[in-house]
Structure 1
Amino acid sequence: MTTSHMNGHITEDSDSEAKNVDLASPEESQKHREMAVDCPGDLGSRMMPMRRSAQLERIRQQQEDIRRRREEEGKKQELDLTASMRLKKLAQIPPKTGIDNPIFDTEEGIVLESPHYTVKTLEVEELLTSLKHIQHVLVDPQSQEDISLILQLVQNTDFQNAFKIHNAVTVHMNKASPPYPLISNAQELAQEVQSVLKPSHHKDGQELNALLNAPHMQALLLAHDKVAEQEMQPEPLTDEKIYENIGVYGGETVKIVRIEKARDIPLADMHGTLTFVLIPSQQSKPPPAKETVIHVKAHFDYDPSDDPYVPCRELGLSFQKGDILHVISQEDPNWWQAYRDGDEDNQPLAGLIPGKSFQQQREAMKQTIEEDKEPEKSGKLWCAKKNKKKRKKVLYNANKNDDYDNEEILTYEEMSLYHQPANRKRPIVLIGPQNCGQNELRQRLMNNEVDRFASAVPHTTRSRRETEVAGRDYHFISRQAFESDIAAGKFIEYGEFEKNLYGTSIDSVRQVINSGKICLLNLHTQSLKTLRNSDLKPYIIFVAPPSQERLRALLAKEGKNPKPEELREIIEKTREMEQNNGHYFDTAIVNSDLDKAYQELLRLINKLDTEPQWVPSTWLR
């Protein structure tokens, strides 16, 4: 059975309705149209009033529900309209510097004031995880291609850094802030309200008007407007205010650069201050190459107080010939930064020393100027011009192998520490002028420690004598073989005496070294360059004479009576040897007393076994 409502009446239909209507008379059918056709007549007439009343009550209830629902929807629309109008009013108010009253979009709606609101940010790792999950779900080719492109973007370093900066700015801008005044003319608005309420006779209006006219309320509104006016004034644009919270983004320091435009700066349409916020680049930079410290031996004296070209005399480092310098920086080719060996603890800052090329150029120019100042004497005009030509070649042809090249301008020599092996002793070379005691010192070492020291067997072209043993006294070879060895560079030094050639070969010195003994040599200064260019690693000791008077007394003990000019010649020869060959010397001994000089010589030789020594770096390459 189905029931339908037609104009406030109820009709009931059934499958037997047509049959029942045909059996009834027209009058009965008209009279009982609204009663149940399958009920007895007396029952139907008795139950109809009660059934109709319940149905009407149900209709009224339904209409009341509809009315109530419409009222609720109207109230909701009114609230939405009120919120929208409030948002519009807030949008029209000029904001304070920065965002002090954030409006956040949440899942529930719009939150106007949320002092305890916590902004949730998405991390890069979460974004990557979500994309990878979607990549497994969406299997069609187009989706896979799109997700792959997005993954490449998200995995890019620049994108990730920008994402971190975005999160940091979002958290900063959405921080809870104290209440901020919406208007600064509350007193004026109150006066307008009073003018509207003045003619009103309504009780509530009169009470509100009296309240607004109260002195305390007037004072409160005045104080509010004064405070609001100060709060709403724009703050001065200072670096501290603008950038106080952007100092560090993504773990990197942000730098602020300000440019004040001057009149001579041709920047169109620019005035005032131009401020740059510099965020460090995230591109990986190769670490700066650590400059290697080199160790050099100085071959000249230097005093910064006498140098007009030193950038800062207070930072200049003075040194003497033979000092070892630790160069820590050659960034400036003209002025290096260095420490003296042994002064690192006492010297807090590195000092300035002339660079090698700068010093060579300066010395070459000095020699050229001195050569130009020399008077051209008769008989030496051509020679002087020739020498000047060679010296000038140093300035313009420094790389050519001329007779006078850069090697003659001594500056620095790179050195390294070397500890001699126990089974390969360095040869000891004693150098000095005649009558200074180097031969006596050598002989005393040979006699006192026969098992430790030995001399190299020389070569000769003369015939062997009856008392001589080949290989012990001399190596006897033909003149042709001797001259062939000279051409091959096999001799450290050689000479001719009474038409016979004599010389000391490199191989003969090497034989002593291979035997485990220390080879003692007395050589001329002209032989030092050849010896140092070999692989023998010699230790060269210069034996210098004492003062002229002391030298006379020492020679007198030996039964010698030198003339004053002979003594002066020895002293002059000493200066000449030091000037021309001092860069070859490892150390020097002043022979003021032969016994003391012998003990000092022995101490220096023993130190070679216990302490590393500075040697040319070319020896160890």
Structure 2
Amino acid sequence: MITSHMNGYVQEASMQAKSHRERAVDCPGDESCLVKAPHCSAQMERIQHYQEELRKRREEESRGKHDIDPNASLRLKKLSQNPKVGIDNPTFDGKEKANKDACSPDPVGELDEMLQTLKWVQHCLTDAQSQQDVELIMQILAKEDFKNAYTIYNAVSQQMSRVNPTSPLTAQAQDLCLEVQNILQSSQQKEGLELRALLTNPHLQALMQVHDSVAGQEVEEENVTQYLGETVKLVRLEKTRDTPLGATVRNDMDSVVVSRVVKGGAAERSGLLSEGDEILEINGISIRGKHINEVHDLLQQMQGTLTFLLIPSSQIKPAAHRQTVMHVRAYFDYDPSDDPFVPCRELGLSFQKGDILHVISQDDSNWWQAYRDGDEDNQPLAGLVPGKSFQQQRETLKKTITDKSREQQVKVWYGKKNKKQRKKSISTFSKSSDYDDILTYEEMSLYHQPATRKRPVALIGPTNSGHDELRRRLLSIEPEKFAVAVPHTTRGPRIHERNGRDYHFVSRAAFETDLAAGKFIESGEYEKNLYGSSTDSVRHIINSGRICLLCLHTRSLRVLRSSNLKPYVIFIAPPSQERLRTLLATEGKTPKPEELKEVIEKAREMEHGFGHFFDATIVNLDPDQAFHELRRLIDKLDTEPQWVPTSWLC
């Protein structure tokens, strides 16, 4: 049942991968695009004219025409002729001024009318105090200073109503500032120098940048019209090398649709492109009917300003909310170039087991968007990584197929045996399969250990890897800083042994009770006596302010991590076979070649089966170098926060 279900799932995913294959229209390695709102008329018949102006402007810039005549600047000329700019506009003629005066209210007449109204109100009032209050107001209104102030207020109000339209006058204030600066390059007049200094002020330039950003979005919202019966919008893009566009497209029948907006790109920052938007034109070139590879190649060839004509997505956008970044540790290796299901291979993010990933978007449950820890500066766009549930399903399918294959081999192997033996063998094999323990990601958080509660350090490694020697060296050099947990045992004490110092001597019944209660990290039996290291013994060392050193078997790591001790696990890996032989020879040991091979093979098994539990790895090439590296890692726990499972901090 599981196999058939997963096969159906994979077939469906494969069909989706073929029919909805995405292509990044702009990757970090390509020319990048910065989305801006267009500054053009909302009437579609003017689009061609607008694009022609852009083309002419690029040709003029390419010829190096930096000195701009005021009359040659179409926008400056229009703004200078716009009566909305100011009341002192030189284009006002006498007739216009007369009309304006005729339409404008007379401040003095308004005050006289208000005085007459107050006199009438005063006669209607019978309360002496109210009459005195009205008289005081009338005296204020009759003063010449108040009349002048009211006249100025009225003039300013009218001017503000003219220069504050409901929509922005321009979304290219930065370009206007640059044009004015070019005009003033040769000016030596005092006013020109002052204006140039003002326009080059960083604060004013930042203000113009913010103005264009806000005005651009408002203009874009108004830039909606009808195109072939569809509501469309026009978006302007500027190709740059520093900010990738961060969007993928897919084919949907004859349409080219924005499939994904990637975090960190210009599209996501601007908010002007959305998933589901259909691209109709790019710089007047029709996109409908083109393959996504053609769209990619087309954008590769285009430079400078791009104009996208889009049909907005009909999908209802969810309410905007700030997504919380989830930090996870990966427990598998991933290479997008080997993954046939990744929707966009160019945006796939490769990582190795143990890497920390910052997941910034889980909008697509199958494909998360993430950064590798430490690569945020070198990784402008978030990468695509398999979602947790999707990866678990794939790993389950792999185990199912592998186990089915092994089961077939077992059937062939035992084919000549009797039915009872075959059934017993296959049954035993099936019980060994465990589909519930599929490791993909674990949520992590940063943790800084308190100065008075040091994390226990567990040294893991195969026999003869040197981890025992490193622990003894630490204990001998700084016994006041490092200590070992006092073990428990059921044997009787010897003459020189003291309870609580060498061992905790307990009865077998008490030992077995604590063992059943999960109080032992590690336990075993030797010569009919039980031995074990308890969590209470480790906690006693921690409470004393020292660092507890542990040398454990890998099977004890699950118990140690499930406790609240927050261990720091360091794997001591052996060097090559020849180097290991040399190191053991200095200790007077003469291992056989098969013994050396067994040490290295055991280390590989440990890394494969338990490497996701290791916080650090030291290859013991040289005892002194390994010791100094071990000290560095332990000292770093006091100075730098470390990634630990979030469940430890709950």
Shorter-chain TM range is 0.5 to 0.7
AA aligned to 1:479 is R
Matched, 1:335 2:362: no
Within 5 Å, give how 1:225-304 maps onto structure 2: 253-260=221-228, 288-304=320-336
3-state SS of paired residue (2:446): strand
Aligned partner of 2:400 in structure 1 is 368
Q: 2:507: which partner in 1?
A: 478
Q: Aligned pair in 2 of structure 1 residues 312, 385: CA closer, same or farther (>3 Å)?
A: farther
Note the alpha carbon deviations across 1:97-147, whole angstroms, 9 max, x for none. xxxxxxxxxxxxxxxxx977569899xxxxxxxxxx9xx9xxxxxxxxxxx
**Percent of matched pairs sharing the same residue:** 63
- CA separation of 1:575 and 1:248: change in aligned 2, threshold 3 A: closer
Aligned match of 1:206:
none
Looking at structure 1, the residues matched to 601 and 568 of structure 2 have their Cα atoms a distance apart, in angstroms, of 24
Query: 2:448 touches 2:638 (CA, 8 Å); kept in 1?
Result: yes
Superimposed CA distance per residue, residues 8-35 of structure 1 (whole angstroms, 9 cap, x where no aligned partner) = xxxxxxxxxxxxxxxxxxxxxxxxxxxx
Aligned residues: 361
Contact 1:337 1:352 in 2 (8 A): yes
Give distance in 2, aligned partners of 1:381 and 1:441.
49
Q: Secondary structure at the match of 1:456?
A: coil
**Which residue in the other structure is 2:16 paired with?**
none
Of 353, 367, 371, which residue of structure 2 is paired with 1:321? Answer: 353
The one-letter amino acid paired with 1:347 is Q
Structure 2 distance, partners of 1:252, 1:305, is: 38
Residue 384 of structure 1: CA displacement? 3.8
CA distance in 1, matches of 2:463, 2:449: 30
Read off the aligned partner of 2:387 and give its amino acid letter: G
- The 1-side partners of 2:378 and 2:384 are apart by 16
Partner SS state of residue 291, structure 1: coil
Say which of 306, 309, 313 aligns to 2:341.
309
Among residues 548, 556, 570, which one is paired with 2:585 in the alignment? 556
Unaligned stretches of 5+ residues in structure 1: 1-113, 123-132, 137-166, 173-246, 263-277, 279-284, 392-403
Counterpart in 1 of 2:448?
A: 419
Give, in whole Å, the separation in 2 of the partners of 1:445 and 1:380.
Answer: 54
RMSD: 3.4
TM-aligned CA deviation for residue 459 of structure 1: 0.4
Supply the AA of the counterpart residue of 1:327. Answer: V
**Scaled by the length of structure 1, what TM-score is found?**
0.54
Task: Kindly indicate whether structure 1 or structure 2 has the higher relative contact order, using CA contacts under 8 Å at least 6 residues apart.
Answer: 2
Once the two structures are superposed, what CA deviation does each residue of 1:50-89 show, in whole Å capped at 9, x if it has no partner?
xxxxxxxxxxxxxxxxxxxxxxxxxxxxxxxxxxxxxxxx
The question of 1:580 aligning with 2:580 is answered no
Contact 2:396-2:435 at 8 Å conserved across structures: no
Moved over 3 A (4+): 114-122, 247-253, 379-391
Deviation at 1:550, TM superposition (A): 1.1
Letter in 1 for 2:340: P
| Cα separation, partners in 2 of 1:261 and 1:603, compared to 1, 3 Å | closer
TM normalised by structure 2 equals 0.52
Establish whether residue 605 from structure 1 lines up as the match of residue 605 from structure 2: no
Distance 1:457 1:356, change over 3 A: same
State the distance in 2 between where 1:357 and 1:546 align. 38
SS of match in other structure, 1:337? strand
- Which of 1 and 2 has greater Rg? 1
**Alpha-carbon distance in 1 for matches of 2:351, 2:452:** 36
Does the Cα contact within 8 Å between 2:399 and 2:435 map onto a contact in 1?
no
Cα gap change, 1:571 to 1:384, in 2 (>3 Å): farther
1:521 paired residue number = 550
Gaps of 5+ in 2: 1-94, 106-116, 122-160, 167-214, 231-310, 312-316, 415-420
Instruction: Give the deviation of 1:253 after TM superposition.
Output: 3.9
Query: What is the aligned counterpart of 1:452 among 459, 477, 481?
Result: 481
Match of 1:507, as an amino acid?
A: D
Q: Distance in 2 between matches of 1:121 and 1:303?
A: 72
**Contact preservation (8 Å) 1:368, 1:388:** no
Q: Which amino acid aligns with 1:369?
A: I
CA distance in 2, matches of 1:578, 1:364: 21
Secondary structure of the corresponding residue to residue 561 of structure 1: coil
**Distance in 1, Cα, partners of 2:580 & 2:220:** 74
SS in 2 for 1:580: helix
Aligned counterpart, 1:354: 386
1:67-466 equivalences under 5 Å are 253-260=221-228, 288-374=320-406, 375-376=409-410, 377-378=413-414, 382-384=424-426, 387-388=429-430, 404-406=434-436, 408-466=437-495
* 1:431, distance to aligned residue in structure 2 (A): 0.4
Note the C-alpha offset of 1:386. 5.6
Q: Deviations over 1:439-492 (max 9, x none)?
A: 000000000111110000000111111110100000011111111101111111
In 2, Cα distance between the equivalents of 1:545 and 1:248? 62
Aligned partner letter, 1:571:
I
Structure 1 pair 479–444 and aligned structure 2 pair: CA distance change class (3 A): same
The yes-or-no answer on 1:509 pairing with 2:538 is: yes
Within 2, Cα distance between the matches of 1:571 and 1:470? Answer: 39
Residue 548 of structure 2 aligns with an amino acid whose one-letter code is C
SS class of match (1:608)? helix
TM-aligned CA distance change 1:250 to 1:552, over 3 Å = closer
